[in-house]
């Protein structure tokens, strides 16, 4: 999904490095003067679902708070809930993998992307939610 969103990035880049790239690019945009706030939602959401560190997760939480406070879109609250649930599931899966001794990396397909068990699409489907990404 990240590669489809940012086709100019090399395909071999890890999901984590793509998420960090999104943080860097969008982090340099001044929300106060940007006329494109709504188009930031989709890449922020996809990248946010793929980060693992609490520092990175806090950064994405803050970005969604800023966006919500500026455009008052209820959908942003839904996306934040989905993202939080994805993080919760990823953390739980990593703990299970560590406990059982299964080998994994942070870019493991079992943990990241749409093929993973803890992905945003699965959360939306299970919770019977409707979200708008854009």
Alpha-carbon Rg for the chain in angstroms:
15
Tens of pLDDT, residue by residue, the chain (134 residues): 444 455 554 444 677 788 888 888 888 888 888 888 788 888 999 999 989 899 999 999 999 999 999 888 888 999 999 999 999 998 888 888 888 887 766 665 566 665 667 888 889 888 888 887 65
- Helical H runs in the chain? 2-5, 15-27, 37-50, 54-71, 74-100, 120-126
Structure tokens at 115: 């093929």
Exposed e or buried b per residue across 47-57, where buried means at least 16 C-beta atoms within 10 angstroms of its C-beta? bbbbbbeeebb
Instruction: Domain ranges for the chain, please list them.
Output: 2-126
């Amino acid at each position: 999904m990240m590669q489809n969103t940012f086709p100019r990035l090399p395909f071999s880049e890890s999901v984590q490095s793509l998420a960090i790239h999104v943080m860097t690019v969008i982090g340099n945009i001044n929300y106060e003067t940007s006329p494109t706030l709504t188009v930031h939602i989709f890449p922020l959401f996809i990248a946010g679902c793929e980060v693992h560190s609490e520092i990175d997760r806090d950064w994405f939480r803050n970005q969604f708070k800023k966006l919500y406070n500026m455009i008052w879109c209820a959908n942003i609250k839904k996306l934040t809930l989905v993202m939080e649930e994805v993080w919760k599931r990823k953390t739980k899966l990593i703990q299970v993998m560590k406990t059982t001794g299964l080998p994994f990396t942070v870019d493991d397909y079992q943990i990241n992307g749409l093929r993973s068990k803890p992905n945003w699409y699965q959360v939306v489907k299970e919770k019977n939610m409707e979200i708008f990404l854009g």
